[in-house]
Every structure is written in structure tokens, then in C-alpha cells.
Amino acid sequence: MDITEAMAVAERGALEKVYYIVGQEPYWAWQWIFKVRDRLLGDRAARDGYLAVDESTVVWPDVKAFLQTPSLFSQGRVVLVRDTAAWKTKESDVLAWLPHALDATCLIIWDKKSIPGLVKGLGTTRIIELKPLKPAIFMRFVESSAKRRRLKLKSGAAELLVQMVDANEYQVEQELDKMALYDVKTPWDEALVRDFVAPLGATAFWKLTDFVVRRQKRDSLETLEELLIQGNEPLPILITVARQLIQLGHALEAQRRGIPAIAFAQQEGLKDFVASRLYQSAKGWTLEQVSEGIRRAQSIDRAIKIGRGDPQVWLSLWLALM
């Protein structure tokens, strides 16, 4: 089945004891995995009843024992095993275990390429094929994501956004998060989207965000001063740093839910070294501190737009308080 069918099953259908995910569309794979995990375990039990392993750490007797042992908070167990080429006995192990799987148990295997014998043995209802969404379905995803953030996209604006981010789900989410920092009552037309989503001067801006997430206040303020002297406008700087704070919050949520750094990278669509930096830096923050930083960014955004105060002073104070 495709991912749209799989999402419907994860939300309200009868779940199988094992699923075989095949393909390289990580956004939807993670969305489905987390939905199944939270449905079977609930938020409180997720950390206790969920296990993620890759090919370098697959020890089938240990995995099987985990699946057969109820957790502290729930009878359910969910195990994710990824990139399993080194698991040579996977087909026989899984097919032998399946008839004896406990209720509220789900073993999820995720490979880039399928193993024909496992596909045949499991049957179509347990196979999820990851492929790019059809254009109409992708557009519905964009529209629903915007609606969830209470953003209003005028005719043509959603289509333009999709074109500018090359139909990348992660990038859509990130751009919509940035747009949500603005007044959600402001309708977004094509001109506003084109101006807002246009690429920023990445190198200098990301130098600043590196200092911010590592809480190097002096370096942050000095880099901000350099950017302003070079003629960079305050608003794009604010947006870039706020966007990084949003991802920092995602990293903290990942840590709270027991998601490892490599899985966080896949979840956010980030390169491994970028995700590792964020994941490590997040340990120096709390969710409350990140939320407060984002809240202040929203206030500064409104102040800049109505011309209240000096934007450069607002930015300096914002960074100094983080």
C-alpha cells in the first residue's frame, strides 16, 4: 500500500503486528511511525515501550525479547529496525516470530530496497511503499499544514510555495513555521510568498545561528553587529534565528521522546552534521527557554512592522536575553 493508505490505517484501522517499509521518503515514514507508536503506546509510555535500532545493533533475540516483555506503563511494544542489510536471517526470523506476536505489538522494518522473500511472506497489507506524493495530494498536504498553523494562503500562493521548495515536505514545514511567526490574520499572496521564501545569504546568517544555539552571547552580538554593518535588514535576521530556535525546539522534543540524533536528522530532513550540532546544542536549553525566545521573536516582528522602536536595538536585546 502507499503512504496515504498506510496513514489511514495508522489513524483508525486495524494494525498488523509487523510492517515492512520500503523506500527513501523519510518525512512520511517518520510521520507514520510516530502515529503508530503514539497510538499503541500513548505519550507517557512512548519512551518506555519504543525501541529503535539499526543494522549495526540488530540482535534478534534481544529484539524479540523486548517485543515479548510488556513495558512499565503499557502492554504495547513498538520496535523500529532500519537499514537491515546486515541482518542476514531477517526473513526467517520475522516470519517465524509473526504467528506468536503479542497484541498491541508492532515490529517495523524499514529498508531502502525490498527483499522479495520478505515481501511475499508478509503480504500486501503489511508492505508500505514510500514514493513521492502525487501533485494533488502534495497540495492538500500544504493546505492542511497551513490551516493547522492558521495561515491563509491566497489562490496561487500554495502552488508557488511548492515550486520554491521543490516539493520538499520538510522545507514546506519549515517555511510555514517561519510564516506563522507573522500575524496569522495576514493573507499570503504570491508576491508575499516570493519575497519571504527567497533564499537568504546563508553563510553569514548561519554563522550567527551557530553562536545563538551554542549560547555564545558575545559572539552572537558581535556577528549581529557585523551583519547590520554589511547592510543586512533586521527582519531576515530575525526570521533566520527564529527558524533555528524552532528546530532547536524540535531537537528537544526528540530527546524527550527518546529519538536518537540520526533519527532526528531524518525526521527534520537535515544533513547529519547539522542535526548533530542542533541535537547536542539543545542539551543546553529547556523547552521553556526556546518557547520564550520564539515568543519574543513574534513580539519583535510586530514591533518592526508597525515601526515601534529601533529594529537593530530590538534584535540586540533579543539576543542578549537568550
Alpha-carbon distance of 67 to 88, in angstroms, equals 20
Do residues 17 and 100 touch, judged by C-beta distance below 8 A?
A: no
Query: What pLDDT sits at residue 302?
Result: 87
Q: Express each pLDDT in 197-213 by its tens digit.
A: 755 444 467 778 888 99
Nearest to 106 by CA among 173, 4, 37, 162: 37
Q: How confident is the model at residue 84 (pLDDT cuts 50, 70, 90)?
A: confident
Which of 257, 249, 256, 252 has the alpha carbon at shortest distance from 51?
A: 257
Return the C-alpha cell found at 19.
510492517
State the pLDDT at residue 177.
Answer: 80
Is the separation of the CB atoms in 117 and 89 below 8 Å?
Answer: no
Give yes or no for residue 78 having a pLDDT over 70.
yes
pLDDT at 292 > cutoff 90: yes
Domains of the chain in start order, with CATH, are 3-129 (3.40.50.300), 135-196 (1.10.8), 202-320 (1.20.272.10)
| Cell representation of residue 74 | 503499557
Read off the pLDDT of each residue in 223-248 and give the average, rounded to a whole number: 86
Whether pLDDT at 285 is above 80: yes
Task: For residues 211 and 318, give the distance between their C-alpha atoms in angstroms, rounded to a whole number.
Answer: 14
Mean pLDDT, the chain, whole residue set: 85
Residue located via cell numbers 530532513 = 269
pLDDT at 6: 95
172-193 mean pLDDT: 81
Q: Which three cell numbers stand for residue 153?
A: 494562503
pLDDT tens, position by position, 101-114? 888 899 999 988 88
| Nearest-angstrom CA–CA distance, 318 and 300 | 8
